[in-house]
Amino acid sequence: GENVEQHPSTLSVQEGDSAVIKCTYSDSASNYFPWYKQELGKGPQLIIDIRSNVGEKKDQRIAVTLNKTAKHFSLHITETQPEDSAVYFCAAGYSGGGADGLTFGKGTHLIIQP
Amino acid sequence: NAGVTQTPKFQVLKTGQSMTLQCAQDMNHEYMSWYRQDPGMGLRLIHYSVGAGITDQGEVPNGYNVSRSTTEDFPLRLLSAAPSQTSVYFCASSYNAVGAYEQYFGPGTRLTVT
């Protein structure tokens, strides 16, 4: 089955700086890579996703890059703000079949220092 | 739309007791799943369903049962609670059975087994 590794487990950055979270996956058949943000006491919420036919996707201050050859993908947050403080999860899945959904990384606790 | 709802929000059980965690969605999603979240372990899939009447096991199914009699509801049953089942439980749903679409998560149920 798929295995997703996520690093770092905790990331502390100064407000206004950039943050980068990295994930690797093991199954070359995976072709869907979402990122979820979980605020304290809430369920995870999708913030951005990318499919394997695209190398990069941006949405305002958030971007995701995908390297299929190396089987890794990254989340980039620029101009970080206090409300970016949360736990972030990467995940990998296959849209062409198989119903067991997504495999999640263990999460990164992002702390934005004022 | 209410999205994905879960009840109860908090529950304390004694070892050996049974209970049902409720999950409902009003988005007419085919795919529903249950995850448990433990510190440092990320989200692990317990059971999933690709449609009414169809369920299957995920990564950590032991000690849990599920059923899917309607599209909207997907309850999770703990038959004989054990301290190892202390966790936060999330129900999720998505449009498509193959799982490579946005998953919408409920707010979670925090379960403590003493």
Q: State how far the Cα of B82 lies from the Cα of A63, in Å rounded to an integer.
A: 42
Q: State how far the Cα of A28 lies from the Cα of B62, in Å rounded to an integer.
A: 29
Whether A98 shows a pLDDT value over 60: the answer reads no
Q: Which of A67, A75, A9, A30 is nearest to B98 (CA)?
A: A30
pLDDT at B41: 85
For chain B, which residues lie within 8 Å of any Cβ of chain A, measuring from their own Cβ?
Answer: 4, 31, 33, 35, 40-45, 48, 50, 56, 58, 90, 92, 94, 96-103, 105-108
Output phi, psi for A2, to 5 deg. Answer: -75, 145
Burial of B69 (0-12, 13-18, 19+ CB in 10 A): exposed
pLDDT at B114: 97
The average confidence (pLDDT) of chain A is 93
pLDDT-wise least confident of A14-23, A66-75, A91-100, B12-21: A91-100
Gap from B42 CA to chain A (nearest CA, Å): 4
CA B63 from centroid of its chain's CA atoms: 13
Chain B contact for A99 (CB, 8 A cutoff): yes
pLDDT at B27: 94
Choose between A29 and A13: higher pLDDT: A13
Considering only alpha carbons, which residue of chain B is nearest residue A43?
B107
Output phi, psi for B82, to 5 deg. Answer: -130, 150
Q: What is the mean pLDDT of residues A3-15?
A: 97
Q: State how far the Cα of B71 lies from the Cα of B29, in Å rounded to an integer.
A: 7
Q: What is the mean pLDDT of residues A34-51?
A: 94
Which regions of chain B are under pLDDT 70? 97-100
DSSP string across B1-54: ---EEEE-SEEEE-TT--EEEEEEESS--SEEEEEEEETTTEEEEEEEEEETTE
User: To the nearest whole percent, how much of chain A has pLDDT over 70?
Assistant: 96
Q: What is the mean pLDDT of residues A60-66?
A: 97
pLDDT at A100: 63
- Residue B32 near residue B74, CB atoms below 8 Å: yes
pLDDT at B100: 67
Chain B contact for A94 (CB, 8 A cutoff): yes
Quickly state the pLDDT bin for A104 (edges 50, 70, 90): very high
Show the tokens assigned to B81: 């609670």
Gap from A80 CA to chain B (nearest CA, Å): 23
Helix (H) or strand (E) holding B105: strand B104-105
State chain A's maximal CA–CA distance in angstroms.
45
Whether A101 shows a pLDDT value over 80: the answer reads no
DSSP class of residue A37 equals: E
- Residue B108 near residue B23, CB atoms below 8 Å: no
End-to-end Cα spacing for chain A: 41
Beta-strand relationship, A32-38 and A86-92: antiparallel
